[in-house]
Amino acid sequence: MLFDSHCHFTDEGFDDCREELAEKIRSSELKFIADIGTDLETSRKAVAAAEKYEFCYAVVGWHPSEVGRLTDDLLAQTLELYKHPKVVAVGEIGLDYHWEDNPHRGLQQQWLRELLLQAARLGAPVCVHTRDADGDTFDILKELALGKTKVLMHCYSGSAELARQYVKLGAKISIAGPVTYKNARKTVETIQAVDLSDLLIETDSPYLAPVPLRGKQNTPLNVEYVARKIAEIKGISYEEVAEATFRNACEFYGINI
């Protein structure tokens, strides 16, 4: 069984094929997916999908690229959704310094701190996005979350050494499709450095399709390629990776099976 720990199943990219995709998921090894919100609207869509599809869980939050529009009231409405029994975490939240037109760094950091404090108050696990912001993300998480709140580093692309530090402080590391790309040296080293019991797998679909489907639309079904790549890197069986990452995801999101 497989668990796609981070995807955007309710993204517009799936609007004309979602039912078809749902049927394919039901007849595959993919048992669960987590649909991740990036603002209030997408968080609400994720909750609606979790109600409609038995294989879907929802994560609600504000992506760092979106926090320029965030207000205390919108945040309160978003976190209110956490009461729903199929909402299993707060996310995605974090820091993204990659895009020049993103909200300025100070504002991103301010909202990340606020989101972490409120998630801790709710006892919610958090799914963290970080891009070109490794040092600041680690410092803020270390100060406010690591060791207190369950933390999942989504689509991890940092160094193996940093991954070790995250794991030492209790975080889990989620590996996505780019591990199958030719330039994935750092992620390969991370997989070698991190125990299977601390790894989750994801697609971040409809983005980031893995090889051999790179350039095409990605779907949650392709999480299988990520599991196969991890098995190859660790020299263990695909089944072992699938089973362990499934268990790790259920445990992280508090899903009893």
Of 17-25, 180-188, 197-205, 238-246, the segment contacting Zn ion by CB under 5 A is: 197-205
Q: How far is the CB of 50 from Zn ion (least distance, A)?
A: 16
Shortest-Cβ-distance residue relative to Zn ion: 204
**Distance between CA atoms of 123 and 132, rounded to whole angstroms?**
28
Question: What ranges in the chain are assigned the alpha helix state H?
Answer: 18-26, 40-52, 72-80, 105-122, 134-144, 160-168, 185-193, 223-234, 238-253
For residues 201 and 229, the answer to whether their CB atoms sit within 8 Å is no
What is the spatial distance between Cα 5 and Cα 95, in angstroms, rounded to a whole number? 19
Residue closer to Zn ion, measured from CB, 152 or 231 = 152
CB nearer to Zn ion: pick between 176 and 191: 176
CB 159 within 8 A of CB 190: yes
Q: Based on C-alpha coordinates, what's the Rg of the chain? A: 17
By CB under 5 A, what part of segment 6-35 binds Zn ion?
A: none
Distance, CA of 154 to CA of 130 (rounded, Å):
8
Angle CA 156–139–185, to nearest 5:
25
The sheet carrying 30-36 orders its strands as 2-7, 30-36, 56-60, 87-96, 126-131, 151-153, 172-175, 199-201
State which residue, 96 or 204, has the beta carbon closest to Zn ion: 204
Residue 63 vs 229, nearer CB to Zn ion: 63
Q: Closest separation between CB of residue 239 and Zn ion, Å?
A: 27
Question: And the tokens for 44?
Answer: 């609400």
Site residues for Zn ion, 105-164, by CB under 5 A, read none
Number of residues that bind Zn ion (CB under 5 A): 1
Nearer to Zn ion, 96 or 224 (CB): 96
- Residue 203 CB, shortest distance to Zn ion, in Å, is 9
> Would you tell me the crossing angle of helices 185-193 and 223-234 to the nearest 10 degrees?
70
Name the minimum Å distance from CB 142 to Zn ion. 23
Q: How far is the CB of 81 from Zn ion (least distance, A)?
A: 17
Rounded to a whole number of angstroms, the minimum distance from the CB of residue 202 to Zn ion is 8
For Zn ion, give the closer residue by CB, 198 or 204: 204
Shortest distance, CB of residue 92 to Zn ion, whole angstroms? 5
By C-alpha distance, which of 107, 53, 117, 106 is closest to 79? 117
Closer Cβ to Zn ion, 103 or 206, answer by number:
206
Please report, as residue ranges, which positions from 198 to 237 form the binding site for Zn ion (by CB under 5 A).
204
* Chain residues that interact with Zn ion, rule: CB under 5 A: 204
